A = this chain, B = another copy of it.
Amino acid sequence: MKSEIIAVGSEMLTPFRQDTNSLYVTEKLNEIGVAVAFKTIVGDRQKDLVNAIRAALARIDILILMGGLGPTEDDLTREAVAEALSLILRRDAQLVAALHTRAAHWRLPMPSNNLKQADVLHGAAVLPNPNGSAPGQWLDTTFAAHRKLILLLPGPPSECRPLFDAECLPRLRAIVPPRSIAKRTLRAAMIPESQADKLLAPIYTTFSDVETTILAHAGDIQLTLLCSKSSAAAARRRVDELAGRLEEALEDWLYSSEGESLEQIVLYYLGLRQATLAVAESCTGGMIAQRITSVPGSSRSFLGGAVVYSDALKTAFADVPPQLIAQHGAVSAEVAQALATGIRLRTGATLGLGVTGIAGPTGATEEKPVGLVHIALSDATKTESVEKIFRGDRNRVREWTTQQALDLLRRRLR
């Protein structure tokens, strides 16, 4: 069965805001075997809404409308569905009472306009919304002699998502032919993009029954494999078969077979080896520490570190000799290695990571371009460093550097 999502709200037609509910709902729909064929974003104008609803009903089986159920004059989804399908809206006495109770409880005023939230499409079931005042609606109807399901959901994510899960998914499951979905997410770090395509496309394109999505961002690629079959075992088998072939092709670029992030994997290895980590960051300015500490429980393996933006702090916090900086420059393999060793010794960590580079847009010299970074890793037995030149703006250089640093750690700990 094919579906369309219509997100309702003029704010989503500005340059500033995007609908995100549809991503959530799409994931849930795909998991029960319903494809999303169209998404439409439309403003709070009844004429446009009616137009979008009619266009949708002419091309799909399941229509999911999100937004426009509130109490204001701009909330027109109920009215538009009624117009598009020539249905009557009736004011539901029970819902009216519930609105009064709610207003009294929160000591809110109750303007008469609020009561439009109690208007129900003829033939629709009311979907309770414990997180807001406007209930959802479920309409199982016919349009141009075909059966159509029309779902009306509130717009705020905190209302839309729980309501969809609790009220819509079970109803859809009972109607949609049962499909079993298997899913796997593989992740790999620092593989050159051209290489990834050349390696992977010949494999996944031969699995026409597995949908493969590849996302790439700053040295990270994420492959999501999705297979829908009538049997759970068959779906699982195909996904695992493809995953196995892709894992083999990705060699040691692969860091995760079940979707974990690179920082989660690094912390997993640190825990396994009972090792601790400290970092001394210059150009990344705290980004590495921030990514590691985004993982709950990271304090078990991560001691902390220093953001050594000024040369004086490189000496004060990581004991980098001033003459080393004077001789090689702050952005050099020598200083990166001194940072890694220095922070390790100063903190008593098992591993020390040191990063220095030119994030740009200024700071380049004739020999040292914007994007040049040195990343060093030190433990009791050795200190090694890599030199890279990353392209892109300041933020991109910092993101790539952070990813490269975490990958260096992963490869050492494996």
Contacts and interface: CB of A to CB of B under 8 A. Distances in A.
B293 A304 contact: no
Contacts of A293: 284-286, 307, 309, 359
Given A48-B59, A286-B307, A24 B18 contact: no
Q: Copies per complex?
A: 2
Interface stretch (A37-45, A75-83, A247-255, A383-391): A37-45
Nearest to A278: B313
A285 B290 CA distance: 5
Interface string A260-280: 000000000000000000110
Interface residues of A, number: 75
B290 A299 contact: no
Among A13, A224, A286, A305: residue with most chain B CB under 10 A: A286
Contacts of A312: 303, 347-348
A94 B395 CA distance: 40
Contacts of A316: 346-347
A38 B30 contact: no
A302 to B, nearest CB: 6
Contacts of A230: none
Interface string A210-232: 01010100000000100000000
Contacts of A24: 15
A144 interface: no
Contact of A215 (B16, B51, B55): B16
Given A305-B307, A312-B348, 10 more contacts: A14-B213, A18-B18, A284-B290, A285-B292, A285-B298, A293-B307, A299-B309, A304-B309, A305-B306, A312-B347
